[in-house]
Structure 1
Amino acid sequence: MTLTILPILTLAITLLSVLIGLGFIRSLHIVKSLTPTEPVDSEKPLIDVIVPARNEQADVGTAVRSILAQQRVDVRITVINDHSTDQTGSIVDTIAANDSRVHVIHDPPLLDGWFGKANAMQHAFQTTNRPYVVFADADVVHSPCCFITAIDHMRQEQCDFLSLFPKVQLVSFWENAIVPHLMVFGLVTFLNRALDDPKSGHAVAAGAFMLTRRNVLDEIGGLACVRNEALDDVMLARNIKANGFVTKIALAPQLLSVRLFKSNRDAFWGFSKNILGAVSHIAFAFPAIVVPLFVYWLPISVLLVGIVRQDGWWIICGISAYVSQAAILVLASRLAEMHPLKSLAFPFSAIPIGCCFARAIYHHFISDGVVWRGRVIRRSGD
């Protein structure tokens, strides 16, 4: 009796995977995919670009230079070297010494009750004054038409806040095993028709690129509303929308790209900072530690038992679940460049996902905060 239910549970996992896939396809129709706007002669919008950077020596130089290469816009860049322990500071200092459009703020004091990234962005925002503001991550590479395409789209949509979702580069084993499924699941969760409903508080953003108007940030009090939010990008969009402004998000794989994690270790632990945002209450984080093990390894177990027992029904159930889960990778390829063989090892992602939940739970209760880039940041301040 106990064993006979396992193939049925496996078929339920198959159905769940199909529903997630259909939900992702639906999400692609809810939000627009942007393509580059061709440069033409026109008045150049004035943009302050704020780039928070902590230990980004591998990427910050390329990222900042891609911003300096933007066409049809007038950019001024403020890089905040957020207490980096690598060569980030000297790299951006060298760029600033050769281009007056770049200004660097080193080691801003951490305000009480603020997380590091929001704190850095707030310090920079207070030093700027241009009508448009872009928050860009320090590891994102932008195409030359990225900013003007975003400005044009903002004007066409008559919105006050626009975020762009980048192409995600996957290199190491754990990047390929973990990111595609979590990315698809996250987009299905966040991208729905409530985004365009002004009566709904639902809004979403990707921290890689967030464009807004200065008067919008002035009205909501800058970044204070997200000072201790792990999901600072999403919560910024929701606070802006809650104040009566129009927010939008667009998929932009042709406009910007990012490698989220730079190594196997980074990928393994990389979701610790934000993973609690996937559950509505901390109590749900405890079962979430083991749910991935069940979802990913039950189909494989059923398949192997079916092979040993030479039971075609078990074999079919196991194969159907794994194939339906693997099909999600095809959908993820719309927004990610992945290594197919490494990505097919996605069942192993249950290990780091469980570890990230456990680590996040520990720091939630013991440190009252999150750990990110070698620094534990407490909600009540460092």
Structure 2
Amino acid sequence: MSWFFLFFALAVCLYTWINLAFLPRLTAPVQPDSLAICIPLRNEERNVRKLLDALEPALTPGMHVYLYEDRSTDRTRELLLDRIGQDDRFTVIDGLPLPAGWAGKVHACHQLAKRTTEDYLLFLDADVTLTPDAICRLYGTLRTERAVFLSGFPSFPVPTFLGKCLIPMQHVLIAQHLPIPFRKVKHPAFAAANGMVVLVERRAYDQVGGHESIQSALVDDLELCRTFKKNGWTTTLVEVAPAVSCDMYATNEEVWQGFLKNVFRGMNDSYIVGSYFLLFYLVQASVLPYLILHPSWQMGGALILLYLARFRIDRAARIRHVWWLHPLAVFLYVILLASAMIRSFRKREITWKGRTYS
């Protein structure tokens, strides 16, 4: 058994290092002539000021910011209007009631897109922070990649314990499962995206039907990427962490509930795919306990190899000092995914930001 763990860990480590070598880095900044930044906000009072403070120095003359205030129940609207003042680079859009059959964020993005006329649309989450050259670097990379859809996984501040364990797992899943050299293949099976930062060409976005084509999607980023690929457009995934960070969740409860609603949906609710991921990470989670119970150089080597893989992932993701939590992180991920699969099987509803989804 110890030899199995050793060879498994060696394969994981080699695949991770080789795979990440193909992840494109952001290019030098290129100023777009016409680009809209589209940001949905619902109950985002803790993020408004930080978001706008980071956006202002990133804007160039060809950019305009559209903010969809999605009927928040906190002080989001008040803080938005107070912070923006008379700055004509920003437009605040009052949210409409959510129609039946629509997911909240998808409807917000659809309304944002309808209000814009720019040639490129950059969809951002409200908890994202950008470097001053981030938008121009994203645009330059989209052009270099010859794609019409670009996304990537930001760096993540991880203040809570569950955040330290589960939030960086997004980078782990990409590094250890998506064949990055094939990221631009026009088949939905190779779709990968992160809705925190999605840059699209307007012409292609309109042709595929935009967010209106994925009205009920809770994992809207993946579904939109799949839609682009199904329609024959080139999408790409790049390393955005040096220029984009996202402070996703403030509490352990938010971490758990946030991932619980998405983790299985991102697998198309496939119990076969879900079972594969459960088994894959259960093996990784078993290495440390097996080493403690049955010490050997093979098991020690297996643990070191898994740590080397995780260290490489965290270095690319600009996430520090959490790689050593990897055995616990993958164990918690197994529990999270199993819980999501059980909830799906029992057809339990999901509540997020005051809205309930089936």
**TM-score, normalised relative to structure 2:** 0.87
Structure 1 equivalent of residue 25 of structure 2: 33
Letter in 1 for 2:306: Q
Evaluate the alpha carbon distance shift between residue 149 and residue 322 of structure 1 in structure 2; reply closer, same or farther with a 3 A threshold. same
Structure 1 equivalent of residue 296 of structure 2: 315
2:333 is the alignment partner of 1:375:
no
Q: Is the partner of 2:126 in helix, strand or coil?
A: coil
Structure 1 equivalent of residue 305 of structure 2: 324
Structure 2 equivalent of residue 310 of structure 1: none
Evaluate the alpha carbon distance shift between residue 88 and residue 321 of structure 1 in structure 2; reply closer, same or farther with a 3 A threshold. farther
CA distance in 2, matches of 1:354, 1:374: 27
2:56 is the alignment partner of 1:68:
yes
Evaluate the alpha carbon distance shift between residue 53 and residue 71 of structure 1 in structure 2; reply closer, same or farther with a 3 A threshold. closer
Deviates more, 1:223-232 or 1:276-285: 276-285
Using the aligned pairs only, state the percent identity: 22
The structural deviation recorded for 1:109 is 1.7
Structure 2 equivalent of residue 356 of structure 1: 336
Evaluate the alpha carbon distance shift between residue 304 and residue 35 of structure 1 in structure 2; reply closer, same or farther with a 3 A threshold. same
CA distance in 2, matches of 1:129, 1:185: 36
2:260 is the alignment partner of 1:268:
no
Structure 2 equivalent of residue 174 of structure 1: 162
2:168 is the alignment partner of 1:188:
no
Q: 1:333 aligns with which of 303, 314, 317?
A: 314
Unaligned runs of 5+ in 2: none
Letter in 1 for 2:88: S
CA distance in 1, matches of 2:287, 2:332: 19
The structural deviation recorded for 1:77 is 1.4
Structure 1 equivalent of residue 325 of structure 2: 345
Evaluate the alpha carbon distance shift between residue 18 and residue 302 of structure 1 in structure 2; reply closer, same or farther with a 3 A threshold. same
The structural deviation recorded for 1:81 is 2.5
Aligned partners of 2:311 and 2:323 also within 8 Å: no
The structural deviation recorded for 1:348 is 2.9
Aligned partners of 2:314 and 2:320 also within 8 Å: no
Larger radius of gyration: 1
CA distance in 1, matches of 2:281, 2:43: 33
Superposed, 1:1-382 pairs within 5 Å as 8=1, 10-37=2-29, 45-198=33-186, 202-277=190-265, 279=267, 281-284=269-272, 287=275, 291=279, 294-306=282-294, 314-340=295-321, 342-349=322-329, 352-361=332-341, 363-365=343-345, 370-378=350-358
CA distance in 2, matches of 1:83, 1:15: 53
CA distance in 2, matches of 1:283, 1:132: 37
Evaluate the alpha carbon distance shift between residue 368 and residue 264 of structure 1 in structure 2; reply closer, same or farther with a 3 A threshold. closer
TM-superposition CA deviations, 1:149-168 (whole Å, max 9, x none): 22222233332222243222
CA distance in 2, matches of 1:126, 1:339: 40
Q: Is the partner of 2:40 in helix, strand or coil?
A: strand
Evaluate the alpha carbon distance shift between residue 238 and residue 278 of structure 1 in structure 2; reply closer, same or farther with a 3 A threshold. closer
Aligned partners of 1:20 and 1:185 also within 8 Å: no
Q: Is the partner of 2:53 in helix, strand or coil?
A: helix
CA distance in 2, matches of 1:89, 1:223: 24
CA distance in 2, matches of 1:85, 1:317: 55
Aligned partners of 2:191 and 2:225 also within 8 Å: yes
